[in-house]
A and B are shown apart, each in its own frame.
Chain A
Amino acid sequence: MPDQLIFAMEVTLNGLLNGVMYALVALGFVLIFKASGIFNYAQGVMALFAAMTLVGIQQGRVPFGHLINEIFGTDIHYFGWEVPALAAILLTALVMIGFAILAQRFVFRHLVGQEPIILFMATIGLAYFLEGVSDLMWGSEIRNLDVGLPQGINDSIDAVTFNLFGYGFFIDNLDITAAIVATVLVAGLIAFAQYTKQGRAMRAVADDHQAALSVGIKLNYVWVLVWSLAGIVALVAGIMWGSKSGVQFSLSLIALKALPVLMLGGFTSIPGAIIGGLIIGVGEALFEFAIGPMIGGATENWFAYVLALVFLVFRPQGLFGEKIIERV
């Protein structure tokens, strides 16, 4: 087999695994958008906040330490204990649920029935607020996140491909783990939405708020549920990205990666988010591999957007976006 082809296979594989991560971030958007028509600008910051909180809890940091020290002239930073990874993840999930409740209670509850653009503005406000809170609570330094996920090159893939092609693929264990976790999460979410009473209520609310109210579904409750799920998705995305490249402000920019995925897959489709993520992951990796060197590289930054725009022209509702059912 020609070398180029073998390299391309490796690139594709890496692209696929990256794509799973993109899909994961996009999924958070889709969940909220479907159920409440809100495009949640804060999704990326939620991932940052979740990852920061996780690191903070794990390392036993004192929340608002800087603030406390500033006001009381003390010098405390750590409680002096460490919380095991799993417990810290669960605690962080609770924090994200708390955030969902607060956001619903103090912001979105008062905006029921408002124009989508106003709701969107509210999420922009929420994003900056949460970013500020995150800074105040945990500081803004870069943190290492280690919850014990396997890291480094996967030896067996290396060995198998070496035997096959005489060239070992470099695939990161973390990427593989992320792909598996994301797959399980998505399967869980789909099963929840499809087969449970609350999931059905969630889809009903997504279709028609008024009708949902009229049959006795409590909108507030469903929205808290949806924001909690989005918070947990953000947490998982935060863990994966944070483990890979550290927890820092740029983590919140993963939202920018989700946008083209959404344009491609449709804002309302869970499968769309997945397929869209994979297409973009593979597409940008292959493009960088094949065309990148000719035009100076760094194509990853914009390729996804160009692909998405081209798509937008031909299929405005995205690959799998729900057909807008129009009949009276």
Chain B
Amino acid sequence: MLDQPEQTQSGGAMPEKAAAETLLEVTNIEVIYNHVILVLKGVSLKVPKGGITALLGGNGAGKTTTLKAISNLLHSERGEVTKGMITYRGERIQHLTPSELVDRGVIQVMEGRHCFEHLTVEENLLTGAYTRRDGKGAIAADLEMVYTYFPRLKERRTSQAGYTSGGEQQMTAIGRALMSRPETILLDEPSMGLAPQLVEQIFDIVKRLNEEQGVTFLLAEQNTNVALRFAHYGYILESGRVVMDGPAAELRENPDVKEFYLGMSEEGRKSFRDVRSYRRRKRWLS
């Protein structure tokens, strides 16, 4: 992992030095499940090195599908990228297996955590180092590194992961990904099912990992509010299309985003009906 100097800003604009290189680029991809269900209808996005990029949108918008298209976990779900291009450091990566991608530094933390429930927390972490060939010493050192970020996991290291709390499982899943020495983590809905305080804690750690370890994040979230506070840049996905993107600070101030994703407006919360008519209006316009 790359060591980066500490960044002091909290969210907001992209760190200047990272504006340079695009690590991951998704260009106009289309994804079809089971040969017939068209889910992504031309999604494009860029993930700059050293940044936290958020992928936002409601249920079924296609966030998970986008991440899985990148990490190539779609195949086992009978999904397929039928159009478009995905590149990492300028190279096409669609033909690579998940294992080869992990080897190149791209790893996904799946939605719903997916810990190995009968393995202990520490064994879970060690499975993250499966593809590594740099020896036991380096792996042990990284295990300690993970424990410094997640002291709670150290206390729970011998517990079966299935019996740990939701928050601990999310930490285990992130820690497990870290054990592969990733350059980029595709983090799918880390806030899912966690109390607000824990969500805050997890995002704080994500931010520290980004700043101190230089890990690049592509973060899928329904929780727009939290995600936009921690991310540098955001894309908003709606039924398989990117409908808006911009620096996180701008998105936070955007009236549409405020209204429909942050649940704020002059008259207070909008009703579901209004959201639906908004959708209808939008469809007319597009």
Task: Enumerate chain A interface residues (CB-CB to B < 8 A).
Answer: 112-113, 197, 200-201, 203-204, 206-218, 322, 325, 327-328
Q: B108, A214: Cβ atoms under 8 Å?
A: yes
Question: Is B166 an interface position by the 8 A CB rule?
Answer: yes
Report the separation of the CA atoms of residues A327 and B160 in the bound assembly, to the nearest whole angstrom: 13
Question: Is B163 an interface position by the 8 A CB rule?
Answer: yes
Report the separation of the CA atoms of residues A328 and B131 in the bound assembly, to the nearest whole angstrom: 29
Name which of B7-15, B52-60, B97-105, B258-266 contacts chain A: B97-105
Q: A210, B76: Cβ atoms under 8 Å?
A: yes
CB distance from A285 to the nearest CB of B (A): 34
Report the separation of the CA atoms of residues A328 and B110 in the bound assembly, to the nearest whole angstrom: 14
Given contacts A208-B116, A214-B71, whether A113 and B127 have CB atoms under 8 Å apart is: no
Question: Is B220 an interface position by the 8 A CB rule?
Answer: no
Of the candidates B107, B114, B123, B160, the one having the most CB atoms from chain A within 10 angstroms of its own CB is: B114
Given contacts A113-B76, A328-B166, whether A207 and B119 have CB atoms under 8 Å apart is: yes
Residue on A nearest B72 in the bound complex, by CB = A213
Q: B118, A213: Cβ atoms under 8 Å?
A: no
Report the separation of the CA atoms of residues A146 and B107 in the bound assembly, to the nearest whole angstrom: 52
Which A residues are CB-close (under 8 A) to B16?
Answer: none
CB distance from A322 to the nearest CB of B (A): 6
Q: In the complex, how many residues of chain B place their beta carbon closer than 8 angstroms to a beta carbon of chain A?
A: 35
Interface of A, secondary structure class, is: helix
Query: Can you list 17 A-B pairs, Cβ within 8 angstroms, ordered by A?
Result: A112-B76, A200-B119, A201-B130, A203-B123, A204-B127, A207-B119, A208-B114, A210-B73, A213-B76, A214-B109, A214-B114, A215-B131, A215-B176, A215-B177, A215-B180, A217-B99, A217-B130
Given contacts A204-B116, A325-B117, whether A218 and B127 have CB atoms under 8 Å apart is: no
Of the candidates B108, B130, B160, the one having the most CB atoms from chain A within 10 angstroms of its own CB is: B130
Given contacts A203-B119, A211-B116, A214-B98, whether A328 and B193 have CB atoms under 8 Å apart is: yes
Q: B99, A216: Cβ atoms under 8 Å?
A: yes
Report the separation of the CA atoms of residues A210 and B73 in the bound assembly, to the nearest whole angstrom: 8
Report the separation of the CA atoms of residues A253 and B126 in the bound assembly, to the nearest whole angstrom: 41
Report the separation of the CA atoms of residues A197 and B179 in the bound assembly, to the nearest whole angstrom: 14
Q: B78, A200: Cβ atoms under 8 Å?
A: no
Report the separation of the CA atoms of residues A327 and B112 in the bound assembly, to the nearest whole angstrom: 12
Q: B130, A197: Cβ atoms under 8 Å?
A: yes
